[in-house]
Structure 1
Amino acid sequence: MRTMTADLAILGNGPVARSLVLALAGSPLRVLLLDTYPLAQARPRLTERTVALALGSRRLLSRLGVAMPLADAAAIQTVQITQQGIRGQVRLEHSLLNAPEQRLGEVAGLETLNDALAVPLARCHTLQQESPGPLQALQWFPDRVQLDWPDLRVETALTVIADGGHGELARLASLRRMGWDHNRHAIIATVSPRQPLSGIAFEHFLESGPLAFLPIGNNQFSIVWSLRPGDASRVLDFSDAEFIEALNRQRPPQLPPLVVTGPRSVYPLFFQRLWGEPGQRLALVGNAAQTLHPLAGQGYNLGLRDALTLGALLREAAQRGDDPGGKSLLSDYVRIRRRDRLETIAFTETMNRLFSSPRLPLRLARAAALALLDQIPLGKRELAARLAGIHLPAQSAVPDLAMGGTYVG
C-alpha cells in the first residue's frame, strides 16, 4: 500500500473542489485532490447539466484566475418570475444593479465550467492529484486524519469533503444530518423556442413546483422541470413530440412556443445539511455541506463562497504557522459561513413551498404580491442583488484573495 501525506486532502473533483484548490494557489500548503468517483462506473453525461453563475460568482472566479466570460456561456440580463394560470409577475433587469457587466449572471455548461477551472489548476505546483475511487475507511488522530483505500493511505492535517454529498463519506465520517425529501424529481433537457429570445431566464411556478428556463445561447434554453416522481418517470419516456406538447402546455406565456428538444435526464430533489464537529479535522464545502433545491440556481454560487472563505482562513493559518485542521480555524469557518448558508436555504425552501401550494387564496395573494413587488424598485433591486450574489449578509462577506481585503460585491 502506498502512503501519502498532505496538509490538506480534498475529497472530490468537481467545480467546488477545484475552486478551493485555486483559492489556495500560491500558499505553502501541500494540497492533495482525491477523485472519489467509483472507478468501475461510467461517469454520467454532463452535456445537459448547466450551472447558473451569479454575477458575484463571475467576479470571484475572475479573481481566481479563471478566464471570464466562460466560452459559450450565455448572459442572463433579465429574470422573469411568474406563476401558472394567474396574472402577476416580477421582471428583474440587470439595470437594477448598475453593474458594468450589464448582466445578473450567466449560464454555462457544467463541462465548460470544469474545463475553465482546469486551466489555472494546471499551474498549481503544490497540488497532487489521485483518483483512488470511493473512500473505504477514515480514522481520527489528535494531529491528523487517516484516509484509506485498498492500495492507498493518506495522512493529512485537514480533510475537506467536496464530493457533492452523494457518496458514503457522511456515514464514514459520522456526520450529522438534517433534511427532507421534496417528493419531486427534476427533468433536465435542452429546448428551443420558435422565435429567438436571448438573455432572459424564466422562473415559472406550477402546482408541481418550479419550471425554470435558463438561456444557454444558440436560441436554446436549459430547463429544470419539477414534477412528482410518477409524472417525471412518465414524461421521461415521452417521444420528443409528446414532450414538446406537454412542455408547451406548461410554459410561461411570455415564452414563444417550443419546437425542438434534446436528450432528457432526471434526478431526485431533496434538501439536506451535513456537518461534523470542529474537533474532527473535517470541513464541508458546497453540496457536501448543503444540497439545495435548484430553484434560483444557488448551489454552486453558495459552494464557491464556502471554498473561498475556507481558502482564505487556511492561507492566513499557513502564514502564522498554525495547524490547518485546528479546532479554532474550523469553528471560525462554520461561524462565518452560517448566515449566508441559512439565508440562502431559507430563501429557496420558502419560495418553493410558498409557490407550490395549489390553494386559490394563496395563489391570488402570490399574484398580488408579485404585481406589487414589480412596482417597487427598491424591493426589486434587493432581490436582484441577492440573486446576483452581490448583496450578502455582512457576517458572511467573502474574503477577496487577490486584494487581501473583503469582497462585498
Structure 2
Amino acid sequence: MAWNTKAHNAMKLAAMASLLLAVYPASAQTSAQGKTRAAVRAPATENDPRVIELQQRIELLEQKLNALLQAAGAQAAAPSAAPSSNQAARSAQAAPAAPSAPAAAAQRGTTTAARSPAPGTFEIDEAAAQRALERTLTQTGALLLPRGTIELTPSFNYARAEDRFGTIEQNEFSPRIDLRAGLPMALQLEASLPYNYVRSQTSDLGTGAVTRDTGDGIGDMTLGVAKTFLQEKGWQPDLIGRVNYNFGNGKRDDGDVNLNAGFRQLSAELVALKRQDPLAFTASIGYGKVFEEDSIRPGDFTTLSLGALLAASPATSLQMGFTQVYREEQEVNGARIRGTDQTYGILNLGASSVLSRDVTLVTQFGIGLGDDAPKYSVSVALPILFR
C-alpha cells in the first residue's frame, strides 16, 4: 500500500512537470534559432526570464520526484524498519538540512545572548517566586506564611516628630529585626526586636536657648501569634486574628531623652483581606492595653486602618493606606493627666520589588496628619524567605 502511494505521488509530479512544459509560451518553444534544452539552461543574461523561471520549476519538481522515489524504495526494501510512508514523505520534503558546526555554535551563542538579562537587571523566576503583592501583604500582616516557611526581615525606620508649639523636635532612628514562621493549623509565629536611637532638640521660647540631647538603647521585644479564621470565598474576605505581647524590656529613657519603650503591652488585631486582581483591599481594627510601670501608665490605644495594594507587575506592587490612631490620657499615680490624649492619622505610601526568588525590597513613606502625629516617617525593609 505504501509503495502504491509513493508511486502515485511520483506519477503526479511527473504529470505536473509535463504540464508545465506543455503550457510554456509558444514563443520560447518554437524559436527560429532552434534553441535546445542546453540553451534553456544558459545563464540568465542570455535567455528570456520566463525560460529561467520555468527551468527552476522543472528542477524543483525533479528534486521532489527523486526524493519520493528514494523514500518509496527504502520502504519497500525494509518495511519493518521504516516508520510509515507519510512520515518518510514528510521527512524528504520538509526536514531542513542540519546546520554546520560553526553555524550551530553561532546559533547557540545568539540564543544565549537573547536570554541573558540586560546589565543592571535581575532575572526573576516567576514560577518559583511569590508575587511582590503577596510579599507586601505578608509585611502588612494581611497574609500569613505557608507552613514550614520562615521569613527574616531586617528593616530601618526614621521618624521626625515636632510638638504643636515648635519647642520640641525629635528624630528617631530604629533598626529592627522581625521574624515570622508559618505553623500548622493556619498559624503564624511573630517576633520583633528594635533598637532605638533618638536625637532631641528643645527650644525655650522665652530665652531662645536651645538644648540638644541624644539617647539610645534596646527597644521592647514583641512576641505574638496570628491565625487565619476565614478563607476568601465569593463575597467573604480572608479574616486574620492576631495577638501580640510587648515585654516592656526596653530602655525607657537615656538621660533626658524619652526612648518610647519600657512599658508592657497586650494588643489584639483583626484584619480582613479582599482581592480583586490586580488589586487587594485591606481593613483592620486593633486595640492595645498598656500596663502601669513605676506609677506611670500611658493610655490605651485604638487603631483603624484601610489600605489598597496594586500588583503593577509580577515583580512590583504599589501600596496606599490610611491609619487612624486614638490614644487615651496618661495616668500618674492613678490620676488621669488632662490634655495627654492623642488623635491623629497617618497616610502611608509604599512600593515593593522582588529582587530574587526569596528576597524583596519594601519601602514605605508615612505622612502625619494632625498636631499629635509624627511629621513624617521613612522605612526600608528587606524580607528574606527560608523555605
**Larger Cα-atom Rg:** 2
- Whichever structure has more strand as a proportion of its residues is 2
Task: Report the TM-score, using the length of structure 1 for normalisation.
Answer: 0.20
Instruction: Give the number of the structure with larger relative contact order, counting CA–CA contacts within 8 Å between residues 6 or more apart.
Output: 1
- Whichever structure has more helix as a proportion of its residues is 1
Task: Report the TM-score, using the length of structure 2 for normalisation.
Answer: 0.21
